[in-house]
């Protein structure tokens, strides 16, 4: 059993060494494709997104529109060519993590 584990570890190690050159660009491409797909979905299902926000969060039409619009704006800003998309994704995620607990906290 120990021999099999060692052999599997050697195979995984050699794969990781050979894939380092292309793994980062491929992962960035897949991340950008995710944002593009999500942006296209939001545009094509704009009304459904607003209805979902109204039904789940029990908010009005304007607030649902605002939430969907802000989400879409964040998607587009990640695809902006003036900066690194991964850095923008990380800063957007960090901002969301900071705001979410305040938004979901108890209402006084």
Domains in the chain: boundaries: 28-102
Q: Give the residue from 38, 50, 46 showing the smallest Cα distance to 76.
A: 38
pLDDT recorded at residue 89: 58
- Give 48's pLDDT tier (boundaries 50, 70, 90): very high
pLDDT recorded at residue 81: 59
Q: How far is CA 19 from the centre of its chain?
A: 24
pLDDT recorded at residue 47: 92
CB 78 within 8 A of CB 89: yes
CB 88 within 8 A of CB 94: no
Number of neighbouring beta carbons within 10 Å of residue 74? 18
């Amino acid at each position: 059993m120990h021999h099999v584990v060692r052999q599997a570890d050697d195979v995984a190690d050699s794969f990781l060494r050979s894939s380092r050159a292309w793994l980062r660009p491929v992962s960035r491409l897949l991340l950008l494709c995710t944002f593009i797909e999500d942006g296209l979905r939001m545009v094509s299902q704009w009304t459904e997104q607003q209805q979902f926000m109204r039904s789940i969060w029990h908010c009005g039409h304007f607030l649902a529109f605002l939430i969907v619009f802000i989400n879409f704006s964040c998607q587009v800003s990640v695809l902006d060519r003036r900066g690194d998309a991964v850095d923008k994704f990380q800063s957007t995620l960090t901002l969301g993590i900071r705001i979410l607990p305040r938004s979901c906290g108890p209402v006084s």
